[in-house]
Amino acid sequence: MPHIRRELSTGWTLTVGDEATPQAREHVPSPVPATVPGCVHTDLLDAGLIPDPYLDLNEVAVDWIGRQPWQYETVFSWQPEAGAHEVDLVCGGLDTIATVLVNDVEVGRTRNMHRSYRFPVRHLLKPGENKLTVLFSSAWTYAEAVRDELGNLPNAYPAPFNFIRKMASNFGWDWGPSLVTAGIWRAVALESWSTARLARVRPVVSVEGGHGRVRFLIDVARTGAAAGRQPIRLRATVAGVTHEVEVPREDDQTELDIDVPSVDLWWPHGLGGQPLYPATVELLDADGTVVQTWDKRIGFRSVRLDTTRDEQGTPFTLYVNEVAVAVRGANWIPDDCFPTRVTAERYRARLTQATEANLDLVRVWGGGIYESDDFYDACDELGLMVWQDFLFACAAYPEENPLRDEVEAEARENVARLMPHPSLVLWNGNNENIWGWFDWDWRDQIGDRTWGAGYYLDLLPKAVADVDPSRPYWPGSPYSGSMDLHPNLDEHGLRHIWDVWNQRDYTVYRDYAPRFVAEFGFQGPPTWATLRRAVRDEPLAADSPGMLHHQKATDGNAKMLRGLTPHLPQPRDFDEWHFLTQVNQARAITYAVEHFRSLRPWCMGQVVWQLNDCWPVSSWAAVDGDGRRKPLWYALRRANAPQLLTIQPRGAGLSVIGVNDGTVQWRGPVTIQRMTLDGRILAEHQTRLVVDRLSQATVEIPGNVATPGTADGEILVATTPTTGHQAYWTFVEDKDLRYEPADLSVSTRPAEGGTRVTVTAHTFVRDLCLFADRLEADAVVDDMLVTLLPGTTHTFLVEGAGDLRPAMLDGTVLRSVNDAVVTSAG
C-alpha cells in the first residue's frame, strides 16, 4: 500500500493543566480554540484573553504563562487502511516538555523543541473517533529541576536555558523579551505504511568541472523480521537522470549514485546564478508500485573552509566553487518570539531585505532555532549563503543526560534535514561559549564538571562528518582553531568585537585587523512608526517607562549616548534623540564595514550583529521588529556594495581604496578633491583606479590634498566619474564642523508606485533622511543618509504616502545632520 500522511491540524483546544495556578485558571476558565502549529501565547491572544505582549509593559503582565502546565487536545476520525501494517504518530516539533497520549494511553514523552518524534500507535487506534492529547509541563520548572540535579553552570542571563533543549532566547536576551512558550509548534500527522518506508534520505552533492554527482545515502524502516521481509527497490532521479537499485532483505541502508554529465553551478548572489535541480527518491514495492516519494531541490556547488595556518596566523576563508568569498553577512535571530507566525512570505521578505542590502550570508545564531525549510528554500533561491550554528549560546552546557542524548539526536536530525540546501555552507558548534570558558570567570564555578567542550570538539564534528561529509564544521564563534590559543584573536580564525559597543568609541574598530569578524554591532531605536505602535507613553522620552522596557541591553540608552557624544551634538528633545541615535548607529557600522572590507584579503568576512528583530525594541538590528528598514539598513546597502570606494588611513596619511566583489575588473579615473563646505575646491589630485575582480586596490592621496588648511571647514571627496562612486572624509567630527543650515529646494511629482521627491542642495548637506513612515505608517522610501555637495541633486522615491506635497516634508520628515549641529551651536 502507498505511504499515507494525514495532518492533524484541526479541532484542537487549549486548556490549563491540572496543576495550574489560580491566576491561570482565572485567565483561562474554559477551553479555547487552538491553532496547530502554534503556541499558548498566540492561542490566548487569538481568544482575546491576554494583551499583546509586544506593546508597552505587557510582557510583564503575561509572565505567568511560562510557569503553567497546558493541555492541547483534538478528536479525529480514523478508519483502518487496507494493508497498513503500521500507523505512526509523527510530531514535527513539540515545545518542549510534553507527554503524548492517544485515547488516554501514554505513547511517549518529549524534552527537545529542536527535533521530531515518531510513536507507533496502530495498536491504540479504533475505528471512528479517537482522541489525541498533548500535555505540556512548564519549561521553567523542568529546566530548574535539571539544573538542581546536575548543579548550576554559568550563563549570560538569569535563566536556566542551558538546562533544556529549547529556544534559548525565549527566556529573554539583550534584545528580546522573556516569553517562555509551550505548544505544538510544528505539524502533527498520522503516517500509515506497510512493508517499508523512507526513514532518512541524505543527498551528498559534489561537482567537478561541469560534472555533478549526487550520492544518496538512504535509510529505510521495515516491518517484520529480516527473514520475512519483502524485497523493495529504490529509484532516484536528478535532472532527468534516473538510477534504480534493489535493497537486499537484510539491509536497512543503501547508497545510490546519480551522475549528471553537465550541470550549471549554484553561486552566492552577485557571483552567478542559483539553478536548482529537482531530486527525487522513490520507494517501490515488489510489484514496482511507488509507495513513497522523497522530493527536494538541490544545487550543484562545492564549498570548503580554508583554515590552513600561515606565517601570520590562521585564515578563515570560505571557498564556493573554488572561489574565495569575502563574506558580507549579518546575524539572524528568530524573526518572532512565536516562530509559527513567521510565514514563508515573511521569510522571503526579510531575506530579500538582506540581499537588497548587498549581503551574501546570514548566520543563524545559536540561541534561536533551526529554521523551517521555508527559510532555507528562500536562501537557496536568493543565493544567500547560510552559516548555521548548533543551538548553544552564551552559557556553559552540561554534557550529561538527560541532555546529551537529546543533543546528539537533534544534531543528527537537523544536519540530515538541511543537507539538500546548497545555501548551507557552514556548521558552527556554538556562540561565545568557548570564549566564556576563557574570559568570563567560568572556570572556578565549573571546576572539573563538563561545560560543553565535548559537544563542540567531539560530538558535533562527528555528527557532521558522519551525516554530511560535504560541509565544513568549526567548533565555535569566536574560536582561533585550537584550545591552546585564546579564542578571540585578530590573527586566528573567527573573532567577535564587543568592547566598542560596551566600552569604547567606534573609531576603535580601526584598531582591529581580524581574519574574519563574526559579530560586531551598535544600537539604535526602531523606526518611528514601529516605536509609536509599540510604546504609547505620553510624553514619549528615551527614559519613559515603555521606552526603557523596550531597551533590554544593560545600560543600553547610556551606551547609545556615550557612543554619540564624541561625534554628534547632544539631543535636545526626543525627536532629535531618535534621529541622532539612528544616524550614529549607521555611522558606526559603516565605519566598521568599510574598514574590514578594505583589509581584504587579510580579512575575508564581516558579519554584522544583526539583521532582524523579534519584536519592537531598541537594538542592533538593521530591520526592526515590524519589518521596517532603519537607517542602518541603507548604510549597510551602501557599505556592502559590490564596488566600494572608501577613504582610509594608511601609514602616515590617507588613501583611496577600491574594493571589488564583482566578477569583472573595475577601473577608471578617480578625482580626489579637498574643498570648503560651500564647495570651493582647494586642492585636487587625479589618478586611475584599477581593481581586479574579487580584490582591492589602494591609491595614496598626496599630502597637499590630504592635509587641511582649516580642519573644521574642509572635507575630502573622492569620485569615480564614470561609475558615480563617491567617498567622503571629514577632518573633525560633525559636532565640530562649521555646518551651514541645510539650504534645500524640494519638489515632488507623481511616479509609478508613489511620489518622487527631488532635493537640490545649496549648501553641503550631510546624511539627509526622508522619514516616510512619519507621514504614513506603511510608507517607505528608497534611500536614506544621502550626502549632497552644493549644487547637487538627489531624488527619493516614496511609496505608500498618498498625495505627497513639499509642504508635508517638515523638519521631522526631511532632516539632516546639519540641522542638529547648527541648532546645537546656536
Sign for the CA dihedral angle at 142, 145, 151, 156 comes to positive
Residue 769 pLDDT grade (very low, low, confident, very high; cuts 50, 70, 90): very high
- Is residue 258 one of the residues assigned to a domain? yes
Residues 764, 715: Cα–Cα separation, whole Å: 10
Instruction: Name the CA radius of gyration of the chain, rounded.
Output: 29
3-state secondary structure of 363: strand
Q: How far is CA 339 from the centre of its chain?
A: 13
Total domains, the chain: 5
- Closest alpha carbon to 171 in 183, 186, 184, 182: 182
Contact 99, 106 (CB under 8 A): yes
Same domain, 202 and 188: no
DSSP string, 689-704: EEE-TTEEEEEEPPHH
What is residue 227's predicted lDDT score, i.e. its pLDDT?
55
What does each C-alpha distance from 381 to 186, 202, 260, 268, 717 come to in angstroms?
A: 23, 20, 21, 10, 38
- Is residue 303 one of the residues assigned to a domain? no
pLDDT per position as a tens digit, 126-151 = 999 999 999 999 999 999 999 999 99
Residues 620, 605: Cα–Cα separation, whole Å: 19
What does each C-alpha distance from 526 to 627, 632, 785 come to in angstroms?
A: 10, 10, 16
Q: Is the pTM of this model over 0.95?
A: yes
- Is residue 305 one of the residues assigned to a domain? no
Phi, psi values for residue 280, rounded to 5° = -130, 145
pLDDT at 753 over 90: no
What is residue 286's predicted lDDT score, i.e. its pLDDT?
83
Same domain, 531 and 513: yes
Contact 298, 277 (CB under 8 A): yes
pLDDT at 637 over 80: yes
Q: Average model confidence (pLDDT) for the chain?
A: 96
Same domain, 68 and 139: yes
CB-neighbour burial class of residue 472 (10 A; exposed 0-12, middle 13-18, buried 19+): middle
Mean pLDDT computed over 30-48: 97
What does each C-alpha distance from 335 to 338, 372, 625 come to in angstroms?
A: 8, 12, 8
- Is residue 260 one of the residues assigned to a domain? yes
CB-neighbour burial class of residue 484 (10 A; exposed 0-12, middle 13-18, buried 19+): exposed
What is residue 187's predicted lDDT score, i.e. its pLDDT?
98
What is residue 321's predicted lDDT score, i.e. its pLDDT?
97
Same domain, 673 and 757: no
- Is residue 306 one of the residues assigned to a domain? no
pLDDT per position as a tens digit, 528-555 = 999 999 999 999 999 999 999 999 999 9
| Helix (H) or strand (E) run with residue 612 in it | none
Contact 777, 788 (CB under 8 A): no
Domain of 361?
A: 313-639
3-state secondary structure of 559: helix
Contact 683, 673 (CB under 8 A): yes
The residues, ordered by sequence, that sit 6+ positions from 72 with a Cβ below 8 Å of its Cβ are 12, 13, 14, 34, 36, 133, 134, 136, 183, 184
- Any idea which residue has 570564549 for its cell? 435
What does each C-alpha distance from 389 to 39, 288, 394, 768 come to in angstroms?
A: 24, 42, 12, 38
What does each C-alpha distance from 572 to 579, 692, 797 come to in angstroms?
A: 11, 48, 30
- Is residue 377 one of the residues assigned to a domain? yes
What is residue 823's predicted lDDT score, i.e. its pLDDT?
77
Instruction: Please give the grid coordinates belonging to residue 466.
Output: 558522519
What is residue 826's predicted lDDT score, i.e. its pLDDT?
62
Domain end among 736, 770, 801? 736
Residues 86, 103: Cα–Cα separation, whole Å: 17
State percent of the chain over pLDDT 70.
99
Instruction: Please give the grid coordinates belonging to residue 768.
Output: 539627509
Residues 478, 501: Cα–Cα separation, whole Å: 17
Residues paired with residue 204 on neighbouring β-strands, in sequence order = 215
What is residue 225's predicted lDDT score, i.e. its pLDDT?
66
pLDDT per position as a tens digit, 69-115 = 999 999 999 998 877 789 999 999 999 999 999 999 999 999 999 99
- Any idea which residue has 491572544 for its cell? 45
Instruction: Please give the grid coordinates belonging to residue 608.
Output: 554584522
Instruction: Please give the grid coordinates belonging to residue 823.
Output: 541648532
CATH code at 677?
2.60.40.10
pLDDT at 574 over 80: yes
Q: How far is CA 814 from the centre of its chain?
A: 31
Instruction: Give the type of residue at 147.
Output: R
Contact 314, 591 (CB under 8 A): no
What is residue 825's predicted lDDT score, i.e. its pLDDT?
67
pLDDT per position as a tens digit, 259-318 = 999 999 999 999 999 999 999 999 998 888 999 999 999 999 999 999 999 999 999 999
Domain end among 298, 325, 340? 298
Of 228-237, 312-321, 745-754, the poorest mean pLDDT is in 228-237
Residue 231 pLDDT grade (very low, low, confident, very high; cuts 50, 70, 90): confident
Contact 719, 751 (CB under 8 A): no
- Is residue 501 one of the residues assigned to a domain? yes
Same domain, 449 and 325: yes
Phi, psi values for residue 650, rounded to 5° = -140, 120
Residues 299, 421: Cα–Cα separation, whole Å: 7
CATH code at 130?
2.60.120.260
Contact 622, 629 (CB under 8 A): yes
Same domain, 173 and 214: no
CB atoms within 10 A of CB 729: 20
Mean pLDDT computed over 508-532: 98
N-to-C CA span, the chain? 84
8-state DSSP, 656: E
What does DSSP say about strands 86-95 and 183-193: parallel, antiparallel, or unpaired? antiparallel
Residues 717, 45: Cα–Cα separation, whole Å: 54
Instruction: Give the type of residue at 77.
Output: S
DSSP string, 755-778: EEEEEEESS-EEEEEE-GGGT-TT
Contact 523, 620 (CB under 8 A): yes
Same domain, 455 and 381: yes
- Is residue 523 one of the residues assigned to a domain? yes
pLDDT at 226 over 80: no
DSSP string, 578-594: HHHHHHHHHHHHHHHHH
Residues 730, 715: Cα–Cα separation, whole Å: 5
- Closest alpha carbon to 176 in 391, 338, 395, 363: 338
What does DSSP say about strands 361-364 and 327-332: parallel, antiparallel, or unpaired? parallel
Residues 261, 239: Cα–Cα separation, whole Å: 10
What is residue 210's predicted lDDT score, i.e. its pLDDT?
84
Domain end among 159, 175, 192? 192
What does each C-alpha distance from 602 to 303, 308, 312, 653, 820 come to in angstroms?
A: 20, 13, 10, 21, 38
Contact 598, 590 (CB under 8 A): no
Same domain, 471 and 610: yes
Same domain, 423 and 539: yes
Residues paired with residue 688 on neighbouring β-strands, in sequence order = 669
pLDDT per position as a tens digit, 587-627 = 999 999 999 999 999 999 999 999 999 999 999 999 999 99
What is residue 223's predicted lDDT score, i.e. its pLDDT?
87
Same domain, 587 and 487: yes
- Closest alpha carbon to 438 in 390, 396, 487: 487
Exposure string for 245-281, b = 16+ CB within 10 A, e = fewer = bebeeeeeebebebebeebbbbbbbbbbebbbbebeb
Residues 109, 378: Cα–Cα separation, whole Å: 33
- Closest alpha carbon to 614 in 524, 502, 526, 500: 526
Same domain, 216 and 119: no
Same domain, 430 and 532: yes
Residues paired with residue 171 on neighbouring β-strands, in sequence order = 178
